[in-house]
Amino acid sequence: MTNSTGHGGAGTDLGFPAVWLRDNCPCHECRDQVNGQKLFRITDLPGELAVANVRETADTVTVTFSPDSHLAVFSRVWLAAQGSICKGDGRTERDKQLWRAADLKDALPVTRWTSYLSDDTERLRTLHEVAGRGFAIVQSTPTREHTVLEVARTFGYVRETNYGELFDVRVEMAPSNLAFTGLAIGPHTDNPYRDPVPTMQLLHCLSNAVEGGESGFVDGFMAAAVLRDENPAAFDLLRRTPVPFVWSDAHTVLRAERPLIETDPTGQVRCVRFNNRSMQALQLPGADLIAFYEAYRAFARLIE
């Protein structure tokens, strides 16, 4: 048995301060036992919380708080799982498997539509590839229109936009978008002018009447990581400079101003925007413009 006293939120020998322990109390007064949500506001807790007493058994640690004698019973297993590092939400470079083309030479993330549909393990493996590598290829999907929506619905929800639920890429005579032309388009991220940007995109080739038309993939997170290694000043500049992106037609104007490399507060890459087509005139003092373009071109060379 251990007795310990917290002093105005100071650490106990459990290694956690009183306010953290109390905010995570699992009792039925503090937390809905069905949905796990907390039942109190943070301001409902006493201002001068302290640990008055700690009692331990083989499986549990019971904490009594002052000033209100509230009791929290923590499982040892849960407490032991609490470390000093945030687990993350899987969306930054830390939780991805960054790649260069050579890394995927014999390990392209590929599946077939029929096995993806019928085999849970195969579907799970494919979705892990999407989360970790940023993409996967589903072969032999039916070349029926709207099949792409069917694929999307196997793992998520389709976000309707001004383009509708899907965006038909086709060659047009008076194209409102370069996607509707036969022009080769270099590596880019789509819809940087949209906020939020697309979480994920699905491309489905229904028919190709011409030579070419291949799609290529580049790992933008890897390019950002390499830029940080080779040219940290350029990385930092692209991270700190909001860039305006715009798209418009007769009915819609979309505008977002975000950096090319977006990092989380700990500096981890979380998002890359790269699309010269819709990037607008940057508004910065002249010397800053020169530095930005040097960094932008260095990043572009890595990507291309």
Peptide bond into 67 cis (omega under 30): yes
Determine the Cα–Cα distance for residues 154 and 156; give it in Å rounded to an integer.
Answer: 6
Closest to 131 in 3D by CA, of 261, 221, 191: 221
**Least distance CB 286 / its own copies (angstroms):** 4
According to the binding rule CB under 8 A, does residue 304 interact with its own copies?
Answer: yes
Sign of CA dihedral 134, 140, 145, 149: negative
Phi and psi at residue 130, in whole multiples of 5°?
A: -60, -45
Q: Please report, to the nearest 10 degrees, the dihedral formed by the alpha carbons of residues 32, 37, 38, 40 taken in order.
A: -90
SS3 131: helix
Q: Which of 5, 115, 161, 231 binds its own copies (CB under 8 A)?
A: 161
Q: Which of residues 217-256 bind its own copies (CB under 8 A)?
A: 239-242, 244, 246-249, 255-256
**Least distance CB 291 / its own copies (angstroms):** 10
Window contacting its own copies (CB under 8 A); options: 13-21, 61-69, 98-106, 222-230: 13-21
According to the binding rule CB under 8 A, does residue 40 interact with its own copies?
Answer: yes
Nearer to its own copies, 127 or 282 (CB): 282
AA identity, residue 204: H
According to the binding rule CB under 8 A, does residue 282 interact with its own copies?
Answer: yes
According to the binding rule CB under 8 A, does residue 120 interact with its own copies?
Answer: no
Q: Which of residues 257-276 bind its own copies (CB under 8 A)?
A: 257-259, 264-266, 276
Determine the Cα–Cα distance for residues 251 and 78; give it in Å rounded to an integer.
Answer: 53
Contacts with its own copies by CB under 8 A: the residue count is 86
Q: Which of 101, 149, 183, 200 binds its own copies (CB under 8 A)?
A: 183
Q: Which of 39, 149, 200, 203 binds its own copies (CB under 8 A)?
A: 39
Q: Which of 4, 38, 131, 217 binds its own copies (CB under 8 A)?
A: 38
For tokens 């708080």, the residue is: 65
Tokens of 290: 């020169």
According to the binding rule CB under 8 A, does residue 20 interact with its own copies?
Answer: yes
Peptide bond into 242 cis (omega under 30): no
According to the binding rule CB under 8 A, does residue 41 interact with its own copies?
Answer: yes
Nearer to its own copies, 212 or 286 (CB): 286
**Least distance CB 173 / its own copies (angstroms):** 10
**Least distance CB 106 / its own copies (angstroms):** 29
Q: Please report, to the nearest 10 degrees, the dihedral formed by the alpha carbons of residues 178, 179, 184, 185 taken in order.
A: 80
Determine the Cα–Cα distance for residues 125 and 130; give it in Å rounded to an integer.
Answer: 9
Q: Which of residues 60-99 bind its own copies (CB under 8 A)?
A: 82-91
According to the binding rule CB under 8 A, does residue 19 interact with its own copies?
Answer: yes
- Give the orientation angle of helix 286-303 with respect to helix 220-230, to 10 degrees: 120
According to the binding rule CB under 8 A, does residue 113 interact with its own copies?
Answer: no
